[in-house]
Structure 1
Amino acid sequence: MEWKGIAAASGYAMGPAFLLKEEKVTVAKRTLKPEEVDMEVKRFDAKVQQAISELEVIKEKARQKLGDEEAEIFSAHILVLQDPEYTGAIREKIKSDAVNAEAALQEVTDNFIMIFESMDNEYMRERAADIRDVSGRVLQRLAGIEEKSLENFSEPVVLIANDLTPSDTAQLNRDKVAGFATNIGGRTSHSAIMARSMEIPAVVGLKGIVDAAKDGDYLIVDGSQGLVYINPSEELKASYHEKQKKYEARQAEFKKLKDEHSITADGHRIELVSNIGNPQDAVGAKRNGAEGIGLYRTEFLYMGRDNFPTEDEQFEAYKAVAEQFGKESPIVIRSLDIGGDKHLPYLEMPEEMNPFLGYRAIRLCLDRTDIFKVQLRAILRASVFGNVKLMYPMISSITELRQANQVLAEVKNELRVANIPFNDKMEVGMMIEIPAAAVIADQLAKEVDFFSIGTNDLIQYTMAADRMNERVSYLYQPFNPAVLRLINMVIQAAHKAGKWAGMCGEMAGNLTAIPILLGMGLDEFSMSASSVLPARALVRKLNRAELTTLAEKVLEMETAEEIKLFVEEQITAIAQIQD
């Protein structure tokens, strides 16, 4: 039986199914006697503290297995349980209604989830999932149900579940869990992101797999194509064993390229660099062969805490990444990109109808120069420890660019007066993620050292399609002719001004997109660490001179489907690396 879902983490897994059953807690409302109320509040507080202690342990496991960025998911969960507005409301409900903790927890939680899920903001809707996860943990502890173990299987299994919470995923033992498949979820869900970090093949969004599979059924998980087979034929098993061998052999071949340069078959060198969120990610990027950092998402330094990071904290984080890669490797640090779907609990932000088009990124920084200057000081101080470059996000006009550079000039002068060293020739660039910026790229190129094309936002702004909205996600097309023409316009404008152009969106690691981008002349490709070696393997098979003609033909085509099919037919190496 074949099931089709969403490919969440590539690779192949085979083995017996293990159904992870959700332990439902039936909540019965019970009226308390007056003398029981204080004891019930204490019982609730004890279980909250137990849940926090468990999450601290899980957070540390996640940090060791996956790095700081993934571990910060659990910092967010801990903050929920430490939030007086949430837990305080539950305590007040116990006291005012004289009800048991389980009933109070469920009623308050349901209200919070309803409020968050009704919001237009994707970030706030994700907070509903956090509240659901942590409240379920506390509810189970109140019911006497203890933490389940996902590490002690006697043989490697394929986990089947309605969903895996981040805390479930963080506890998976790679040697005991071959892969997993879930009813719900998408490529950007926490469980999918963590599965990719742990290199566990996964398929999500299968809608019904829990009811279809039984404990002990033999399963194949094809994390590359998003397929799951229940009790497949012997022929199909044999076929997948061969695929798995080829996949593992190819991964081994990729690893041989770790210390090689990214050079096309006709001798043209480009840079394959990585996107990171913190210094720990830089370790993984270097381990995966990245030649530097093309996007340091500094907002992660501000998240999962209750106050702004100090200048020294930021300086140490930027310096650590520069030292990890050495003096020659580029380290492109993006200034603070908060707003849209990323909020800070300690920074008051206005309520907005459409926060993705609102008060965010450079717009916030130019308004709050007190915050901006602290970060710029830290970046400039770190610039003496490596090839550090600064990049502004969300620039839409030359006026914004000049204003940002004026603030930078003021900070440089302050450092000179204080006799604090920095690299006065540090390169300063900007992201192209707004169509308006792409259209005036020829003007902007005169006042920056480089462009980095942020395709995640550029595509959705160009197509007026929210990629998180299932009803219009079909319009989120990296290969749409309009998107490709804007990208080409930016690259040509940069080169005409004698500047370099890079890309730091997901498209940079897309194997079908790479030949087009090479043909357009893109100089730097920044991607997730796991994409670097497959991209390098492809680049080394390509002839850049021939790709110029391919790109010219693509720019004349009319549909995304036509373009994708044409490139994959012309570049057979894509299939060899993807298979």
Structure 2
Amino acid sequence: MRDTAGGPRVLLKRLRELMAEALEPQDRLDRIVRDIASNMVAEVCSLYVLRADSVLELYATEGLNPNAVHLAQLRLGQGLVGTIAASARALNLPNAQEHPAFAYLPETGEEIYNSFLGVPVLRAGRTLGVLVVQNRTKRHYREDEVEALETTAMVIAEMIAAGDLSRLTRHDGLELDLRRPVSFKGLSFNEGIGLGHVVLHEPRIVVTNLFNEDSDQEMRRLEASLGSLRLSIDDMLSRRDVAFEGEHREVLEAYRMFANDRGWVRRLGEAIRNGLTAEAAVEKVQSDMRARMLHMTDPYLRERMSDFDDLANRLLRQLMGRSPDDVAASLPKDAIVVARSMGAAELLDYPREKLRGLVLEDGAATSHVVIVARAVGIPVAGQMKGAVSMSENGDAIIVDGDEGMIHLRPQSDIEAAYAEKVRFRARRQELYRELRKKPSKTKDGVHVDLLMNAGLAVDLPQLAEAGAAGIGLFRTELQFMVASTFPRAEAQERLYRDVLDAAEGKPVTFRTIDIGGDKVLPYFKGSLHEENPALGWRAIRLTLDRPGLLRSQIRALLKAAGGRELKVMLPMVTELGEIARAREIMDREVRHLSRFAHHLPTSLKLGAMIEVPSLLWQVDELMQAVDFVSVGSNDLFQFVMATDRGNTQLSDRFDPLSVPFLRVLKHIADAGKRNHTPVTLCGEMAGRPISAMALTGIGYRSISMSPASIGPVKAMLAELPVGELKAFMDDNLSSHAVDLPMRALLQAFADDRSIPL
């Protein structure tokens, strides 16, 4: 390069002029490669663009055979160009033909060139092509020349993203990689199918102003924004509501480390001195870093990638004067939110009437945002690694919550097939609506109460819509999880009163606050890092240690239920002494309210959840100590089978319909019958027709599920001969040799009798 200080700036200035001219896309590309070659004193400059079929096609060249344009091709990973595209790393070689990856393309005439510099064309960490310069003399290209070519590649990436090059290929039916249809297989977190358009939860900020007029001014803008960013991170770390330990603090510490990283700041400065604006410099360095980190195998470093992305987005917002609160400002009417992870409150910020689905790169079926998504009735697919970086705002997308799949930019035949599925589901839902007012009875006349799970005000309209017999589990902690501070007693009382009003006399069971473990409240002081949070300081253990929290909640419940029945359930009970202590607190609050002449409930019932296996060896004593029992099948299965329910490697390994677990559940149902104590099962298995059928067969006459599951379960019950099923279950659960898994046996039982599952 002639002038190491002015070369990149001169080149960018020329590119800006070319972008402004009214040129056909091919003419513009030809002029760009010619100017790059001239500026870098290179005898060859070539641009290869990645197509949707993972082939790199030569789109423009100066110096190679012009007839090879749109004919010369390399597969991803083939040759030097394919290696750069696959690795997202530059190659700087004094003698290209000695490199083991070199592949000779006779149509190009490149055999006479020795030195080779190739850089990936990157956008948001995705490789869209490769830009190459070559010379006959053997030499290493200087660092500033590499930087100049990378900066130029960024400009070309924006051309590709804008769609200017899509019609240039001579290969009919092939699109560029940016628009390539792609499918992801993950896990189903909530059933249903959603067709719509991508809304990135943390939208990629599009930088439109690429070229700077004054490098010194851009450096001052960068330094000012970096200063503000560092101050905001320091402020968040010093605030009282950030605990001194915990994952959220580690994330902020990682942000501070990146914000003060000299190497990162130096690269930003170099990009500005090469002619980019401050925001374009951040976009370039972020894209380079993301492309490199995507190919790292170290899981810790890959996790840090999302920290770096978030920090860079914060800096871009500072530079461009954007507010982070603008996320859901203008949504399409069929929004499908795509996120790495989300908090429960963040999902509620989106208008419910526009939401069609949720895609998460992380998370688990029992994470808080998924619970909220179920409450609002949208399909959720999780563990979709790479979905965020492959998506653009506005992309067409299909979420298959039944199979745990997403289809990004789907082909027309896939879209048509799913549209038919959606129509079929709508017809089926119409049939379920017709069952709404019919009693939930089996074919031989046995009544089964179908209750619904809830936890937020948005759930309440579904009580009537689903035809539920009541609310079998109201998760009171969700109100705490979606709030930024502890809900005041008045707010709690108002919510509980609204719930009872909406129930219109139907039974409602309120579970006392179940926080701790994985349900962390950022504003709650005193939670410590635990090796095994699911087995730790949570639920009734926490509230008995913080009795003020339990007292204020019990008082709000008692006041809200004045003149009505109140059912309160304790979570995570391990021994009977915990029930006795909770009853003392409740009795004390009743006496306190009576003293001040408050309107009290007409009846007060205290129950316990069976989630901890220790209760199985004191089940008769438990039934005598409480007014009712609820089985928390999610946690009970986790503890009985020693299976972390958030661990995706174990998610399909153990079956709740296995003989050992069904025996445990039957043991509880039999104890309830023996002691005349009502038993309800709340959990995922209650909402699936095949497992609801199994529960009915072992004696459960009350089960609680998501509102959307009530219709399918009621339809199953209408065709179920429960007398036959009981005999079938007794035989198979008492047998010491079951040849087939219980799930297969139950499916065969249903198939033989045309029971819809």
Band of TM-score, shorter chain: 0.7 to 0.9
Q: For residues 204-353 of structure 1, what are the structure 2 equivalents within 5 Å?
A: 204-205=382-383, 222-227=400-405, 243-305=421-483, 307-327=485-505, 329-344=506-521, 345-353=523-531
Aligned to 1:68: none
Deviation at 1:92, TM superposition (A): 13
Partner SS state of residue 603, structure 2: coil
Aligned position for 1:6: 187
Aligned to 2:508, what secondary structure does the other structure show? strand
* Alignment partners' CA distance in 1, 2:373 and 2:753: 24
Deviations 1:9-68 (A, max 9, x none): 4344668x8797974899xxx9999998995478549999xxxxxxxxxxxxxxxxxxxx
For 2:258 and 2:384, the matched residues in 1 are separated by 40
Cα RMSD (Å): 5.2
Residues 318 and 379, structure 1, Cα contact 8 Å, conserved in 2: yes
1:144 to 312, 316, 320: 320
User: Is the Cα contact below 8 Å between 1:25 and 1:140 reproduced in 2?
Assistant: no
Equivalent position amino acid for 2:320 in 1: G
TM-score, length basis structure 2: 0.57
Which residue of 2 is the match for residue 510 of structure 1?
Answer: 688
SS at match of 1:539: helix
User: How high is the TM-score relative to the length of structure 1?
Assistant: 0.73
Task: Tell me by how many angstroms 1:249 deviates.
Answer: 1.0
Q: Could you say which residue in structure 1 is the equivalent of 2:610?
A: 432
Q: CA deviation at 1:368?
A: 2.0
1:550 partnered with 2:728: yes
Match of residue 567 from structure 1: 746
Residue 669 of structure 2 is matched in structure 1 by 491
1:121 maps to which residue? none
Change (3 A) 1:304 1:430: same
Q: Does 1:522 align with 2:703?
A: no
Give the residue type in structure 2 aligned to 1:568: Q
| Gap change, CA 1:245 and 1:338, over 3 Å in 2 | closer
Tell me what 1:540 maps to: 718
SS of the counterpart of 1:315?
helix
* Correspondence 1:391 to 2:572: no
Of 468-477 and 411-420, deviating more is: 468-477
Greater RCO, 1 or 2 (C-alpha within 8 Å, sep 6+): 1
Q: Residue 383 of structure 1: CA displacement? A: 2.7
Aligned length: 523
Aligned residue for 1:302, secondary structure, equals helix
Asked whether the equivalents of residues 217 and 231 of structure 1 are also in contact (C-alpha less than 8 Å), the reply is no
The residue aligned with 2:540 is: 362
Q: Check whether the contact 2:656–2:685 (CA below 8 A) recurs between aligned residues.
A: yes
In structure 2, give the amino acid aligned to 1:432.
Answer: I
Judged with a 3 Å threshold, the aligned counterparts in structure 2 of structure 1 residues 19 and 323 are, in CA distance, closer, same or farther, namely closer
CA contact (8 A) 1:11 1:223 kept: yes
- Measured in 2, the distance between the counterparts of 1:261 and 1:413 equals 40
CA contact (8 A) 1:298 1:336 kept: yes
Describe the superposition over 1:64-89 as per-residue Cα deviations: whole angstroms up to 9, x where unpaired: xxxxxxxxxxx99xxx9x99x95998
CA distance in 1, matches of 2:752, 2:307: 45
Whole-angstrom distance in 1 between the partners of 2:230 and 2:752: 59
Change (3 A) 1:241 1:34: closer
Identity over the aligned pairs, expressed in percent? Answer: 28
CA contact (8 A) 1:319 1:385 kept: no
Contact 2:569 2:607 in 1 (8 A): yes
Where do 1:439-454 residues align within 5 Å?
439-454=617-632
Structure having the higher helix fraction is 1
Separation of aligned partners in 2, 1:335 and 1:299: 8
Secondary structure of residue in 2 paired with 1:503: strand
- Offset of residue 269 of structure 1: 1.8
Give the letter for the 1:335 counterpart: T
Partner of 1:262: helix, strand, or coil? Answer: coil
- Asked if residue 407 in structure 1 is aligned to residue 585 in structure 2, the reply is yes
Hey, what does 1:467 align to over in structure 2? Answer: 645
Q: How many Å separate the matches in 2 of 1:533 and 1:134?
A: 42
TM-aligned CA distance change 1:411 to 1:295, over 3 Å: same
Alpha-carbon contact 1:333-1:389 (below 8 Å) kept: yes
Deviation, structure 1 residue 382: 2.4
481 and 174 in structure 1: CA distance in 2 versus 1, 3 angstrom threshold:
same
Query: 1:347–1:354: structure 2 CA closer, same or farther, 3 Å change rule?
Result: same
- Give, in whole Å, the separation in 2 of the partners of 1:211 and 1:364: 40
What are the Cα deviations for residues 516-565 of structure 1, in whole angstroms up to 9, with x where unaligned? 11122212111112212222222222222222113213423667971011
> Distance between the aligned counterparts of 1:31 and 1:37, measured in 2?
10
Query: 5+ unaligned residues in a row in structure 2: which ranges?
Result: 1-181, 208-214, 234-240, 269-277, 291-298
List alignment gaps of at least 5 residues for structure 1.
Answer: 49-74, 111-116, 119-125
Distance 1:97 1:212 in 2: 27
Q: What whole-Å deviation, never above 9, does each CA across 1:91-122 have from its counterpart, x for those lacking one?
A: 99779999799999x99xx9xxxxxx98xxxx
User: Is 2:454–2:471's contact at 8 Å kept on the other side of the alignment?
Assistant: yes
Note if contact 1:218-1:232 (Cα within 8 Å) is conserved in structure 2: no
1:243 and 1:277 map into 2 onto residues whose CA distance is: 30
